[in-house]
Structure 1
Amino acid sequence: MTARCVMVLGTSSGAGKSWLATALCRWYARQGFKVAPFKAQNMSNNARVVASAHGLGEIGSAQYFQALAARAVPDVRMNPLLLKPEADTHSQVVLLGDVNHALTHTPWRERSEHVWPHIAAALDALRAEHDVVVIEGAGSPAEINLMDSDIVNLRVARHADARCLLVTDIDKGGAFAHLYGTWALLPPTDQARIAGFVLNKFRGDASLLAPAPEQLQILTGVPTVATLPMWWQHGLPEEDGVFDDRSRSTGAVTRTVAVVAYPRISNLDEFQPLKNVPGLRLVWARTPADVAGLTPTDWLILPGSKHTSSDLAWLRAQGLDQAVAQHAAQGGAVLGICGGLQMLGEALIDTDGIDGNAPGLGLLPLVTVFATDKTVRHTQARFAPMTGAWSALSGVDVQGYEIHHGQTAEHTAMAAAGQRAVEVLPHLAWQNLSGNVLGIYLHGMLEDPRVLHALFGQHVPTLDTVFDGLADFVAKHMSVDTLRRLLTSPT
C-alpha cells in the first residue's frame, strides 16, 4: 500500500497544528483506515520512549500521542528528528531515536542534507505500511529565511504529495492577514497543495467573520473549511506542556499542585492528568511568592530538566531553593521527577562534562553521578511500603519511562552516619524518613490510572476518551466531504 498523506501546516507556532493532527489521526482511524502520524523534525524537551531499530529510542510527545490516537504502535520513524534544547543556542540532536553527537555539533544549515535521506526513508516506510499518514508541519512554511534548508514543511509536502490544511490562531488577531501572507509567500506549486484554511480558537459570533472568508477565497482560491471554537478543556497535553487555570477541571479547589517552572523544564505533558482531577488546581511556581501560599496538604513538584545543574542554579537565583526547603520543613509534600530528583539530593557530580557539578538542595541524602551513557527505557515496578504524604502509593504497581543521564544512589557517608533515604523503587525512587519528600526517576507515574486512583480515589478521563472527543469536535465543525477530499491527490 502507498498511504495518502494529509498535512497540517500553521501560520505560526502555537496555531493548533499538533492537536488538529491528533484529531485527524483518530477520525481517519475510526473510518477503518490504518493510520500513522509523522513529523519530520520536532523541537521539544517533551519526549517519550518508543520502539526503534535498535530497541528503544525517543520521539516528541506530540507524535507519541498522535500514534495512540491513530491506534498505531509509536515508533521513531514517526518523528525521525528530535531537537532537545539544552541552551538558547544549542540543542541535542536525536536521530531515529538515538542521540547523534556528530549532528549535535553540525551547524543548523549544514544539517538538513545529512538528515533528509533518513527523514524521507522514514516517511516512505510509513506510507508503505499504512493507508493514511497525517503529517504535522513545524512553525510556518513561509519562513523564507529557512526555505532553502527546509526539511519539515514544503519539502515533506512535496515528497508525500500531500494535501494540506493551513491553520491559524484567530484569538491572537490578524488571522486573515496571516493566512493570506503565508499563502502568498509559497511557490505556486505549493499554494496548490493548500486544500483549506482553518480558523482556530474562535470566540464570539461566527457570522461576524463574513465577508472575510469569501474575500480570502477570491484572493487565493482556497476555501475556509472550518472555524473551530476556543476549547480550553480538550484534555490533550499541550505540545510545550503549558497550562493555565482556563484549562483546569471545574469545581471548588481542595488541593493546589505547584510545578516549578525552570528554564530547561522537560516532560511537562505528563502532568496533563492532574488537570482533569476534580478539585485540583495546577499552577506554575516561578518565584518564592508562588510557593508561599501553599499549605502542607498542597504539593510542590520539581519536574524534569534538560540541564539539571543550570536549572538548579536558576532556582537558587530566584530564591526558590529556600521556598522549597521551607515547604518541606512544614511537612508539605515535595515530589522530584528525574532532574527534579537529582536536585533534591546532596550533590551532582560530573567528571565527563555532561551536565555540570553542583551542590543539591539537600532534602534527600543522595548523590547523582553523570555519565556519557543515556538511560532510555520503559519500566514497570511496585512501590515498597511508604509513609507520610505518599503512603497511598504503598504496594501500588506503576509503569512509566526513563530518559536521563546520571545514576543516583545514597550518600555513603551520610548513610553511615544514620541519615538514610528509604528506597521505595529499586534504583528509581527514594523517600525521606519523614515521608513528605519523594524523588523518582520514572516519568509518566502521574499518567498511570493505578497511581491516580491511589492518590485521589477516583478515575480521570483516559487518553482514549480524549482522542475520541477531539475527533468528534473536528467532525462537528468540518464537513465529512472535506475530510474525505483531503485523501485525494493534489497533483
Structure 2
Amino acid sequence: MTARCVMVLGTSSGAGKSWIATALCRHYARQGLRVAPFKAQNMSNNARVVSGLSPSPAGGGLGWGPAAPPSTAAGPSPQPSPQGGEGANPQAPLGEIGSAQYFQALAARAVPDVRMNPLLLKPEADTRSQVLLLGQVSRELSALPWRGRSERVWPPIAAALDALRAENDVVVIEGAGSPAEINLMASDVVNLRVARHADAACLLVTDIDRGGAFAHLYGTWALLPAADRARIRGFVLNKFRGDAGLLAPAPEQLQALTGVPTVAVVPMRFGHGLPEEDGVFDDRPVGFDDKTGSGADGSSASSYQNDIDAPRRIAIVAYPRISNLDEFQPLKNVPGLTLAWARTPAALAGADTIVLPGSKATAADLAWLRAQGLDAAIAAHAARGARVLGICGGLQMLGEALIDEHGVESTDNAPGLGLLPLVTCFERAKTVRHATQRFGALTGAWAALSRVPVTGYEIHSGRTVQHPAMAARGDVAREVMAGLAWQNGAGNVLGVYLHGLFEDAAVLRALFGADAPALDAVFDGLADAIEQAFAPGVLDALVQRRTPANARVR
C-alpha cells in the first residue's frame, strides 16, 4: 500500500501543529486505518527511547525492530502490535525521537520507531546542537554547519517516510516552524520538500490568540511557490476564544484572495493532557482561568495549578538546557498540587519538593544554577529536611563532582552541589534504553516509594558511582535502585537516572494518592475536539485527495 499523507503546517512555531497532528493520528486510527506520524526534523531536548534501525536484511532495504513496551504518561497506554514485518529484529538497537512523535505514535495506536522522526536536533548551546540521525548520535553531522547537512540527511529522511507509507493507510506529517521561512527554503528538509515528496494534502494552522492570524495565513500562503500553495487544502484558526460569529467576513475575504477555505476554528484548549509543544514549557499563572486566560490574581507567576487552595507545591528548576520536561505533564493533573517552574531563589520559596530535571548540558546548566543563587536556596531547602529530587542530569548535579576527561560536555571538571556523596564520570558512549525496576527500601521523606515498581527510560552520558574518599569517611549514598537511584543518609535527597517517574501510575499513587488521566482518554478527547471543530467532510476528504466542496467555517 502507499499511504495518503496529511501534513500539518504552521504560520509559526507554537501555532499548535503538534497537538493537532496528534489529534489527527487518533481520528484516523478511530476510522480503522493504519496510521503513522512523521516529522522529518525536530529540534527538541524532549526525547523518548524507541525502536531503532536493525541491520539491513538480505537483499537490501531498511529493517526495523519492534519497540519495547513504551513507558506511558499518566496511566495505561495502547499496546499495539509491532510494525516492521519481515524486517523486524528483536535485537535492533534503541534510538531517540522527539517526544511529540512518540505521543503521536501512541495516539495512532502504532509502535513508535525512529523512522517517525529521522532527524533530531538536541540543542546544547545557542549555536550548537547534537544531531541524531535515525535515532543515533552522529558526531560528523553535529560538526557540519546547518545548511551543509540537508543533502546528507535527505536520502535517509525520504527512505524513512517511504517505508512508513508502504506500511500504512495514512501518514500524518508535522512540519516545523513555518514553511515560508524563505531564508531556509533552499536547505529545507522538513516542510515543503517533505510535502512534495509525499504529495501531501496540507493544512495551514495559525494561533489566533496571538493576534494577526489572517495576516499570518495570507503572508505565509503568499510567500510559497505557486505549486506549493495548491497543496494547502484549508486554513485552521487555532486557540480561539470568544464569539466565532465575529470572525466574519475575514474567512470569506481570505478565501477570495487565496482560494483556500478556512476549514476549522479550534477553541483554546488548556489542560488537554498532552505535554506542551517541543521546547516550550507551560508557565501559565497561578489559578489560571481556562475561560479568561488570566491569572486569578492578575499575576504572571511561573506556576500552574488546578486547585487554587493546593496544599502541596513542587518547584522544578528551569535551567536553559532543560530536557525531558514533558515527563512532568502528569503532575498538572494531580488534585491539590501546584507545579512551578523556578528560575530564581524566590520561586523556590514555599515548595514542599524541589526537582532538578534532566539537562542537555549538565555542566553549563549547573554553572547557570549557581549564577542565579539557586544552589544556596536548594542547599537550604535540603538542610531543613525538605524533599529534593534529581533526575538524570539533575542527579549528576546533586553529587560531589562531575568529571569530564573526554570533553563530552565540557573541557573542565566541576564540583557538584554536594547533596549526595556521588561522582559522575562522563563517557563518550550514550546510554539509551528502557528500564523496568523496583525501588528498594527508602527512608525518610521518600519512604512512600519503598518497593514501588516503576517503568521508564534512560537517556544520558555518564556513569555515577559512590565517591570513594567520602565512602572511606563513612559518608555513603544508599543505592535504592541498582545503578539507577541513590538516597542521602537523612532520606530527603533522592537522585534517579530513570526518566518517567511521574508518568508511572504506581508512583503517582504512592506519592500523591492520585491517578492522572489515561493516555487513551487524552487522545480521544483531542480527536473529539477536532472532529467538532472541522467543517463536515474535511477530514475524510484530506485522505481521499480531494478538496471538500463549499467548506465553511464552523
TM-score (norm 2): 0.87
The residue that corresponds to 1:276 in the other structure is 333
Q: Equivalents in 2 of 1:383, 1:100: separation in Å?
A: 34
2:480 matches 1:421: no
Shift, 1:457, TM fit: 1.1
Which residue of 1 is the match for residue 95 of structure 2?
A: 57
Indicate which of 365, 387, 400 corresponds to 1:311: 365
| Structure 1 partner of 2:30 | 30
> 2:205 pairs with 167, 192, 195, which one?
167
- Cα distance, 1:97 vs. partner? 0.4
CA distance in structure 1 between the aligned counterparts of 2:349 and 2:334, rounded to whole angstroms: 23
Task: Note the C-alpha offset of 1:26.
Answer: 0.3
Match of 1:255 in 2: 312
Out of 364, 386, 394, the residue aligned to residue 332 of structure 1 is 386
Q: Secondary structure at the match of 2:537?
A: helix
Question: Secondary structure of the residue that 2:204 maps to in structure 1?
Answer: strand
The Cα of 1:311 is off from its aligned counterpart by 0.3
Indicate the SS of the match to 1:486.
helix
Query: How far did 1:388 drift?
Result: 1.2
Counterpart contact for 1:161–1:490, Cα < 8 Å: no
Q: How do residues 230-249 of structure 1 correspond to structure 2 at under 5 angstroms?
A: 230-239=268-277, 240-243=279-282, 244-245=284-285, 246=288, 248-249=305-306
Q: Is the 8 A contact 2:307 2:338 kept in 1?
A: no
Q: For 1:113 and 1:241, how far apart are their aligned partners in 2?
A: 29
Q: Is the 2:400–2:415 contact (alpha carbons within 8 Å) kept by the matching residues of 1? A: yes
Deviation at 1:293, TM superposition (A): 2.9
Compute the displacement of 1:40 (Å).
0.1
1:241 Cα deviation from its structure 2 partner: 4.6
Decide whether the 8 Å contact of 2:313 with 2:350 is kept in 1: no
- Matches of 2:371 and 2:522 in 1, distance apart? 39
Separation (CA, whole Å) in 2 of partners of 1:98 and 1:464: 29
Change (3 A) 1:389 1:94: same
Please, which runs of 5 or more residues in structure 1 have no aligned partner? Answer: none
Contact 1:251 1:278 in 2 (8 A): no
Distance of 1:250 and 1:477 partners within structure 2: 29
Corresponding residue to 1:151 among 173, 189, 196:
189
Deviation string 1:174-202 (CA, Å, 9 cap, x unpaired) is 00000000000011111010010000111
Q: Distance in 2 between matches of 1:459 and 1:480?
A: 36
Task: Choose the corresponding residue for 2:238, options 200, 209, 224.
Answer: 200
Which amino acid is the alignment partner of residue 155 of structure 2?
Answer: P
CA distance in 1, matches of 2:452, 2:434: 17
Root-mean-square deviation (Å): 1.1
Q: Distance in 2 between matches of 1:85 and 1:143?
A: 20
Deviation at 1:464, TM superposition (A): 1.4
Show structure 1 runs of 4+ deviating over 3 A.
Answer: 245-248
Counterpart AA for 2:135? G
Counterpart amino acid of 2:383?
A
Q: Counterparts of 1:266 and 1:194 in 2: how far apart (Å)?
A: 34
The structure 1 residue matched to 2:409, chosen from 329, 345, 355, is 355
Q: Which runs of 5+ in 2 are unaligned?
A: 54-91, 289-303, 548-554
Partners of 2:2 and 2:308 lie apart in 1 by 48
Q: Give the match for residue 342 of structure 2.
A: 285
User: Aligned residue for 2:397?
Assistant: 343
- Residue identity matched to 2:239: K
Structure 1 residue 490, shift from structure 2 partner:
6.0
Superimposed CA distance per residue, residues 106-150 of structure 1 (whole angstroms, 9 cap, x where no aligned partner): 111110000000000000000000000000000000001111111
Q: What residue identity is the alignment partner of 1:4?
A: R
Say whether 1:87 aligns with 2:125: yes
SS in structure 1 at match of 2:49 = strand
Q: Deviations over 1:140-161 (max 9, x none)?
A: 0000111111100000000000
Residue type at the aligned position of 1:52: G
**Where does residue 109 of structure 1 map in the other structure?**
147
2:20 aligns to what? 20
- Give the whole-Å Cα distance in 2 for the aligned partners of 1:446 and 1:365: 25
Once the two structures are TM-superposed, the CA of residue 29 in structure 1 deviates from its matched residue by: 0.2
Q: 2:312 and 2:481 mapped to 1: Cα distance?
A: 26
| Corresponding residue for residue 451 of structure 1 | 507
Bigger RCO of structures 1 and 2 (CA < 8 A, at least 6 apart): 2
| 8 Å CA contact retained: 1:18, 1:136 | yes
Q: Which residue identity does 2:400 align to in structure 1?
A: E
Kindly provide the CA deviation profile for residues 393-452 of structure 1, in whole angstroms up to 9, marking residues without a partner as x.
100110100000000000011111111101000010000111110000000111011111
Residue type of the partner of 1:312? L
Aligned residues: 488
Query: Partner amino acid for 1:364?
Result: L
C-alpha contact 2:335 2:514 (8 A) present in aligned 1:
no
- String of CA shifts for 1:181-228, please: whole Å, max 9, x gaps: 000001111101001000011111111111000000000010111111
Tell me how far apart the structure 1 counterparts of residues 174 and 393 of structure 2 sit (CA, whole Å): 29
Report the AA paired with residue 314 of structure 2.
V
**Does the residue aligned with 1:400 lie in a helix, a strand or coil?**
strand
Fraction of identical pairs, as percent: 73
